[in-house]
Structures are given as C-alpha cells and as structure tokens.
Homo-oligomer: A and B are copies of this chain.
Amino acid sequence: MAATTELPRALRPAPDFATVFSLLKPHMAALDVFLRSQIEAFEPEIRGMADYCIDTSGKRIRPALVFLSGWRSDGSIQPELVRVAAVVEFVHLATLVHDDIMDDAALRRGRRTAAREYGPEAAVLLGDALFAHALHLAAQFPTTEVCQAVSSSTRKVCAGEIIQTLRRGTTAISRADYDRVIDLKTAELFRLSCQLGSHLAGFPPAFSEAATRFGRHLGMAYQIYDDLADFFGEEKRIGKTLGTDLVSGKLTLPLIELMERLSAVEQAALTDEILGQRPPDLARRLGQMAETGVFDTVAEAVETELKAAEQALVPFVGEAPVPLLLRLCEALRAQVGGLQVGRTG
C-alpha cells in the first residue's frame, strides 16, 4: 500500500461528510447495482417488498466505513468490499424495518415505513428475510469468518435493541447502562464494517485491529451525536421532529445528564414526562440543558470517543485508509459544532 504523508491537521479545511463521501461515488454506485441485483434472490412474491427497503436516500455510513477501511491508494473498487458492504447494509436495513415496527413510525426519510406499507406482521418477516439474505451473502466468502463475524454482530445489535426496549418506562439508567446499549446497538456494526473492510482488503492484522477499534469509537461518537441532535438539531437537517426521544421515553445521554442536574421536584416532573404521565415540556427541558451545561457535557462525550477513534489510528498514519477515516472524525466534529450554532441561533 502506498504511504501518504497527509496529516490530520491538514484536512481540517474541508471537514464535512460530503467531501469524504464524494470520493466514494463509484463505490456506492457499484454497491447500488449489487444490492439491486440481489432482489432476484428473494421469492418472486416478496421482491417488491425487498426492493422497497433498499432505499437509496440513506447515508450508507456503514458501507462507507467498509470502503474507507479497505481503501487502496488507487481508489479501486474491490468486489469483496462491495459484497461485504451489501452484507452490513442488509443487516442495517433489517434492523430499521424492525425498529420502525417497534416505534410505530409512519415515515422514514420521507417515505412510508415498511411496517405502514405492508403491515407490521409482514414487516416482521420482511426484516427476517433481509437478515437471512445478509447471512446468505456472508456465506459466499471462501471461509466462514465473515459469516461468524456478521452473525455474532447481528446478535449483539439485537441484544442492544432489546435492552433498550426493556428499559423503556424506567428512569434509573446510568451512563454505563447507556454506553452499553449504544455499544451494542450502534457501535457494533460500525466496528464490524471497519474490521471486515480492512481485513478483506488484505491489510495486516495489526492495522485491521486498529481500524476495528476506530470503528467502535466512531460508532459510539455517532450515536451520542445523534442523541444530542434529537434535542439540538435543526429539524430540517436531521429530518425529524425534535425531542422524539423524550416523547417516546427513551432515556438517552442528554436526558440522563439533565436528570442528574435537576432538583428533586424537577426530577419528579421530568420522570413523569419520560414515563408519559404528563406531556413533555420540551422548551423547558432544552433551556435547562443549555443552562446546566448538559449540551457541553454530551458534546464532550462525543469528543472523547472521537479522540479515542483517532488515537487508534496514530501508529498507522502511513496507510491509505487513515487520512480518510480521520476525515470522518473531523466531519462528525463539525456536525457537533453545527448543533451548537443551532442552539444559540
């Protein structure tokens, strides 16, 4: 692999996802062709449903991690990476289909969810079929290692979602509980994407392990950012109503941190809001989060994970994927910065 002398600092002028992702256009196009070609593997009666789920409007951040972790300096498209990017995307799509049943969500990225389009019953099974197809693709690699890694990660993602679901309706959730859930439900697939991308591209195990650690920390950072954006994002930009986590009783880090800072009386009131026993007072809670430093603490938590992600790559700064992966950290950092502006603007 060709070494590059580019350093993280030098990248800071253009720290957004679009810049990094523009490099991946041909890879994503290849992925899209591959995903569409898989529709025929499904039984004729459900092809339309499977096709409906392969939405092209998503960020496809997991496939991007596969391609970037296995990046070669010539930017070539490696067929193994396209296949494994499809595997992680199918797993992710399956979890979205099942998540939307659970949240009784009507829309996702401006389209009706599969649960609304086909009914929750069919959607349960459609998610299963997408999972099964992910594993089927994983089983087409020469050895069982991809299948092992994907099935193990899938089980962890489900466990994370289960734990989160079972905790709804309780407000006794610690920072450690929160970290565990996001590690399982989000960081696990980020981790897997980096692990498989770097490994299948033929990088040495030491780099692959570093990329795997990077992926996990980036996943943690991404989920904490996402939970912060639920309170402080621009609705237009994040594409959903603010405060949905409070409304649905999901105790994310901003709420955990706010709870700790409130008086006993206010804690009781917020608890009632989280448990759905009184209507959430979003404006009040946002104000309290700003006043008591919740925003800064949570943004700090993102930063801590981003630093750990970057740290993992330090010994491998000469490898082709590294500058690109570091750019993702910069881009996420910039997104957090954008939230802060939104808060005061």
Contact = CB atoms under 8 A, between A and B. Distances in A.
A32 interface: no
A62 to B, nearest CB: 17
A113 to B, nearest CB: 14
Contacts of A268: none
A94 to B, nearest CB: 8
Given A139-B144, A144-B142, A154-B128, A165 B46 contact: no
A162 B122 contact: yes
A132 interface: yes
Interface residues of A, number: 49
A162 B102 contact: no
Nearest to A129: B158
A43 interface: yes
A178 interface: no
A43 B164 CA distance: 13
B155 A129 contact: yes
Report how many copies the assembly holds: 2
A155 B126 CA distance: 9
A41 to B, nearest CB: 8
A131 interface: yes
Given A144-B140, A144-B147, A102 B124 contact: yes
A335 interface: no
Interface string A124-153: 111111011101101111111001101110
B125 A152 contact: no
A42 interface: yes
A172 interface: no
Interface of A: 41-43, 45-46, 49, 94, 98, 101-102, 118-119, 121-122, 124-129, 131-133, 135-136, 138-144, 147-148, 150-152, 154-156, 158-163, 165-166, 184
Given A129-B162, A147-B147, 7 more contacts: A45-B162, A46-B162, A101-B121, A129-B158, A131-B131, A132-B155, A136-B148
